């Protein structure tokens, strides 16, 4: 049971770290003209010049996918912790 507990906690920590990194990518998205060394990307089809470096590189789309993956991983590890706790209570109630 200790291994399952440790694995779930570590998985939750990794998911939280991934979420924090992804949030920084999204929060740090600035217009391409303002980022030193960034190559200006062509404007999107609607002509909006505010295309960000992250958008030009597909970073925002990837970041949104990473958020979903991190959330699902966190939820799965939380469920594993709940299951571990339920199993532990069942064993204690049986006197094992």
Determine what percent of the chain is predicted with pLDDT higher than 70. 67
pLDDT digits 0-9 by tens, 41-79: 444 455 455 555 555 566 778 888 889 999 999 999 999
- Structure confidence at residue 55 (pLDDT): 56
Query: Which pLDDT score is estimated for 43?
Result: 45
Cα separation of 2 and 69, whole Å? Answer: 25
Query: Cα(75)–Cα(90) distance, rounded to whole angstroms?
Result: 23
Q: What integer is the mean pLDDT of 23-37?
A: 63
> What pTM was computed for the model?
0.62
The whole-angstrom distance between residue 80's C-alpha and the CA centroid of its chain comes to 18
């Amino acid at each position: 049971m200790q291994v399952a507990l440790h694995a779930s906690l570590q998985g939750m920590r990794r998911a939280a770290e991934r979420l924090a990194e992804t949030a920084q990518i999204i929060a740090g998205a600035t217009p391409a003209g303002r980022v030193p060394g960034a190559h200006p990307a062509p404007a999107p089809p609607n002509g909006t010049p505010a295309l960000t470096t992250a958008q030009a590189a597909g970073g925002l789309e990837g970041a949104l996918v990473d958020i979903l993956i991190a959330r699902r991983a966190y939820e799965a590890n939380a469920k594993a912790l709940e299951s571990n706790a339920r199993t532990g209570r069942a064993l204690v109630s049986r006197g094992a």
